[in-house]
């Protein structure tokens, strides 16, 4: 194993995920009756996330949605023009 300190967030995102995956495979191969790491979490990792990040603001969403209503350029094929109106 590598030496040194690892943040709680790094452990939760990388190491703990690997541990859970390993146990899931063991359960799938019928080597274990259940995954002992299934419900493990790292509380410190949540504290390190910081303030909540917004996906987009109302004015940005309005701009994106209004662009879908604009007619596509004449040079654009009908197929791609229809695809430009789609918003996820």
Pair (47, 63) in one structural domain: no
For residues 44 and 87, membership in a common domain is answered with no
pLDDT per residue as tens digits for the range 14-54: 888 899 999 999 999 999 999 999 888 887 755 555 566 66
> Rounded mean pLDDT of the chain?
79
User: Does one domain contain both 62 and 88?
Assistant: yes
* Residues 42, 6 within the same domain: yes
In this prediction the pTM is: 0.46
Residues 60 and 46 in one domain: no
Q: How many domains does the chain have?
A: 2
Domain that holds residue 4: 1-52
Say whether both 48 and 22 belong to one domain. Answer: yes
Secondary structure (DSSP) of 1-44: ---S---HHHIIIIIHHHHHHHHHHHHHTTSSSS-TTTT---HH
Angle at the Cα of 53 (from 51 to 54), degrees rounded to 5? 140
């Amino acid at each position: 194993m590598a030496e040194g300190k690892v943040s709680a967030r790094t452990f939760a995102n990388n190491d703990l995920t690997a541990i859970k995956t390993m146990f899931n495979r063991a359960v799938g191969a019928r080597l274990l009756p259940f995954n002992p790491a299934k419900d493990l979490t790292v509380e410190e990792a949540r504290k390190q996330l910081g303030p909540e990040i917004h996906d987009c603001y109302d004015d940005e969403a309005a701009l994106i949605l209004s662009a879908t209503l604009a007619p596509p350029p004449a040079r654009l094929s009908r197929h791609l023009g229809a695809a430009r109106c789609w918003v996820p």
